[in-house]
Amino acid sequence: MPGRGDLNCAKKLVADAERILQAGRGCCRWPLKTREQLWGEILAQYQRFQDHECGTLPRDIDQHIRSKFEVALLTLAVSFRANGESCPDIETSRNGEIFNDDEIALFEIIDRYQVLPGKEDLKKMLLARSGGDSDFVKDLIHVHYTYIDGLVTGMLSGESNRVNPLIIQYMKKEWKRFDSTLSNAVIDAIKANGMHWFFTFASKGGGRAEQVVYQISGGHVNIGSGVQIVDSLLSRTGISNEQESGGLFPRVGKEADSQGGVSVTDSLVSRSSIGGAGEHCFCPECGGKNGSDAKFCIQCGGRLR
């Protein structure tokens, strides 16, 4: 019977999920059988938690634990996909509600930042003259603020209605941690070298930005004579630079014939809202208003279909 919340009970149920979260994408190297077993166990533990086996916890704690379950399952789903593995249990265990491309893209982008060194090491690399890790970090920061930061911020805003709010809740904390590390390193570098250094650094951009994008995206994005997308983290934005043929991003959709500027078509951040109001649907649980193609309510996080 649901009753007063038992936090120790919840901690036990979420332990396997936390093991996956700690491993991150590294779990891709675990045996398939191990990951399949963990998928089934975590899904069952999640269901037990949703059935109030641990009673009723305060909403913030309840949502935090649910977000851990969701992202742990997402991490496993990414591992199956990355290894080209078939896991029939996934097809049936969630009634066909497998994680969508936006959720997988969000996870893959943020997870790549796990390789970041600490703030002090970043600062030393930024202020070093050139060569080796110094060049890589300078390019990384340029790419972060030029491409990745805006993309992820848009995805985390919840405007697309395509990412489960529970996943957004967890990934926001992860993103804030990485973004703060980069921001603090840049701020310290400005304090040490002045604004002239920053303006020079920003105007030069990254000499090896192409390679950094490729590495940050895990090889999904390759910038040669423009961005060539292979199941890309960035292609799902549909952003195109139309000032030159084969420019930074490939032309996408009807706007490809327009002249100049940057267009956004079928974007992660505009898929449901920017570019027209469109139709709406309402959540059966809380009555919240959502885009017509939304899968999760932006108010309560409940499934809409």
For 158-208, how does the pLDDT look when each residue is reduced to its tens digit (9 = 90+)? Answer: 666 678 899 999 999 999 988 888 888 888 877 877 766 666 665 554 444
The percent of residues above 70 in pLDDT, for the chain, comes to 56
What one-letter code names the amino acid at 128?
A: A
* DSSP-assigned states of every residue in 71-135: HHHHHHHHHHHHTT---HHHHHHTTT----HHHHHHHHHHHHGGG---HHHHHHHHHS-SSHHHH
For 131-167, write each residue's pLDDT tens digit: 556 677 777 777 777 778 877 888 887 666 678 899 9
pLDDT at 10 > cutoff 60 = yes
Token readout for 221 is 């994005």
pLDDT of residue 206: 46
pTM score, whole prediction? 0.64
Alpha-carbon span 243 to 260, nearest angstrom: 5
State the pLDDT confidence band at 216, using cuts at 50, 70 and 90: very low
pLDDT of residue 273: 27
pLDDT at 210 > cutoff 80 = no
For 82-125, write each residue's pLDDT tens digit: 899 887 666 666 655 678 888 888 898 888 888 788 888 888 88
Cβ atoms of 7 and 59 within 8 Å: the answer is no
pLDDT at 23 > cutoff 50 = yes
Token readout for 43 is 């899904």
Beta bridge partners of 223: 227
pLDDT of residue 255: 35
Per-residue pLDDT averaged across 254-263, rounded? 34
pLDDT at 25 > cutoff 70 = yes
pLDDT at 215 > cutoff 70 = no
Mean of the per-residue pLDDT values of the chain = 70
Gyration radius of the chain over CA positions: 21
Per-residue pLDDT averaged across 217-234, rounded? 39
Task: Determine the distance from the C-alpha atom of residue 263 to the mean position of all C-alpha atoms in its chain, rounded to a whole number.
Answer: 22
Per-residue pLDDT averaged across 293-304, rounded? 66
Cβ atoms of 249 and 227 within 8 Å: the answer is yes
pLDDT of residue 266: 29
State the pLDDT confidence band at 248, using cuts at 50, 70 and 90: very low
pLDDT of residue 76: 94
Domain layout of the chain by residue ranges:
7-98, 103-264, 275-305
φ and ψ of 166, to 5 deg = -70, -35
Q: Quickly list H helices, 165-242.
A: 165-204, 209-216
Q: Give helix 119-127 / helix 165-204 axis angle, nearest 10°.
A: 20
Q: Among 5-14, 66-75, 221-230, 263-272, where is mean pLDDT lowest?
A: 263-272
pLDDT at 247 > cutoff 60 = no
Query: Is pLDDT larger for residue 125 or for residue 284?
Result: 125
Beta-carbon contacts of residue 133 (< 8 Å; ≥ 6 apart): 125
pLDDT of residue 45: 97
Beta bridge partners of 221: 229
Closest CA to 144 of 207, 63, 206: 206
The percent of residues above 90 in pLDDT, for the chain, comes to 27
Cα angle value 134/138/139 (rounded, 5°) = 115
Token readout for 135 is 């060049």
φ and ψ of 128, to 5 deg = -65, 155
